[in-house]
């Protein structure tokens, strides 16, 4: 196969550039070792839209995703599906909710109306953009005064997701839909404590609450199919009784705690091996 791999612009990898580069290198190395030809281009470059059997993309810019959508409409095989990346956090959360994926209770604030929905505290304010580029894009909100301050002059867009804070253990999960690969870590307990902005501190120390790995994998697979994000990662909160909620679902994470296994699964799904 002749493949095009699009790398992620640095502004979409805050404090994570080396880890994103590492999963790209791992996948490309495996593809080339298997005899496939791979062209690697930056998402901001003038990369070719024809001449490849498939595209593996970490791109997140509107321009790149727009070009990929045009290619997909013409029949190109692209991982992840670019149409999925046109959805913002609010749309993705709604898709998961409708598909029966357990997500925290939530509301949407629209600055154009200025109507503040009834919400409970504490909560998380998440800007509507599909990716986190700065610490202000996702914020912990303790009370009504903090929420009013955060919404004043909202800089990240006209809408935001207000998602209830869930008390429990933080779980980071990783998967590639269409393969058997699924992995998770407890970042505040098992040494995989890398953090982009230190938000994990609001979850506190891990308690080691038991939960069904099979049920979590099933829920994340449902989310992958519902959203179209098949190479995925995200965060879940496990409560004391074993129930869990998916609080974040992302396209093509760095897979830093499970890079080799993830790279093998990505190659499997892309080449349909």
Count structural domains, the chain: 3
24 part of a folded domain: yes
Whether 39 and 22 map to the same domain: the answer is: yes
Residues in the chain: 273
Domain CATH number, residue 70 = 3.40.50.20
Confirm whether pTM is higher than 0.75.
yes
Q: Of 34, 53, 85, which closes a domain?
A: 85
**Residue 248: beta bridge partners?**
235
* Residue 27 host element (H or E): helix 17-33
Q: Catalogue the E-assigned strands of the chain.
A: 2-7, 37-42, 54-57, 78-79, 106-110, 123-127, 138-141, 159-164, 169-176, 182-185, 231-238, 244-251
Whether 156 and 176 map to the same domain: the answer is: no
**Residue 1: partners with Cβ closer than 8 Å, 6 or more residues away:** 36, 37, 53, 54, 271
Whether 151 and 198 map to the same domain: the answer is: no
Structural domain containing residue 231? 169-256
One digit per residue, the tens of pLDDT, for the chain of length 273 reads: 999 999 999 889 888 899 999 999 999 999 999 999 999 999 999 999 999 999 999 999 999 999 999 999 999 999 999 999 988 899 999 999 999 999 999 999 998 888 888 889 999 999 886 454 445 678 999 999 999 888 876 655 678 999 999 999 999 999 999 999 999 999 877 655 444 445 667 676 788 999 999 999 999 999 999 999 999 999 999 999 999 999 999 999 999 999 999 999 999 999 985
Whether 148 and 196 map to the same domain: the answer is: no
Whether 207 and 245 map to the same domain: the answer is: yes
Domain CATH number, residue 156 = 3.30.1490
65 part of a folded domain: yes
Q: Burial letters for 50-65: b for 16+ Cβ neighbours within 10 Å, e otherwise? A: eebebbbbbbbbeebb
Pairwise CA distance, residues 19 & 6, whole Å = 15
Q: Which 3 state secondary structure label does DSSP give 175?
A: strand
């Amino acid at each position: 196969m002749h493949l095009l791999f699009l790398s992620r612009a640095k502004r979409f990898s805050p404090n994570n550039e080396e880890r994103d580069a590492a999963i790209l290198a791992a996948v490309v190395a495996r593809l080339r070792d298997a005899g496939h030809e791979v062209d690697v281009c930056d998402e901001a470059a003038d990369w070719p839209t024809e001449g490849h059997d498939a595209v593996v993309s970490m791109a997140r810019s509107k321009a790149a995703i727009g070009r990929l959508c045009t290619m997909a409409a013409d029949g190109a095989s692209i991982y992840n599906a670019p149409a999925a990346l046109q959805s913002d956090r609010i749309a993705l959360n709604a898709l998961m909710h409708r598909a029966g994926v357990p997500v925290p209770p939530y509301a949407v604030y629209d600055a154009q109306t200025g109507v503040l929905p009834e919400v409970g505290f504490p909560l998380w304010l998440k800007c509507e953009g599909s990716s986190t580029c700065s610490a202000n894009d996702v914020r912990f909100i303790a009370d009504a005064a903090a929420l009013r301050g955060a919404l004043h002059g909202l800089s990240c867009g006209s809408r935001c997701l207000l998602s209830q804070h869930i008390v429990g253990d933080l779980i980071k999960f990783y998967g590639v839909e269409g393969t058997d690969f699924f992995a998770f870590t407890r970042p505040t307990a098992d040494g995989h404590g890398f953090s982009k902005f230190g938000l994990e501190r609001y979850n506190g120390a891990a308690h080691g609450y038991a939960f069904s790995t099979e049920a979590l994998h099933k829920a994340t697979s449902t989310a992958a199919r519902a959203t179209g994000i098949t190479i995925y990662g995200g965060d879940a909160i496990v409560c004391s009784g074993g129930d869990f909620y998916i609080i974040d679902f992302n396209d093509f994470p760095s897979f830093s705690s499970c890079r080799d296994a993830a790279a093998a699964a990505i190659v499997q799904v892309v080449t349909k091996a």
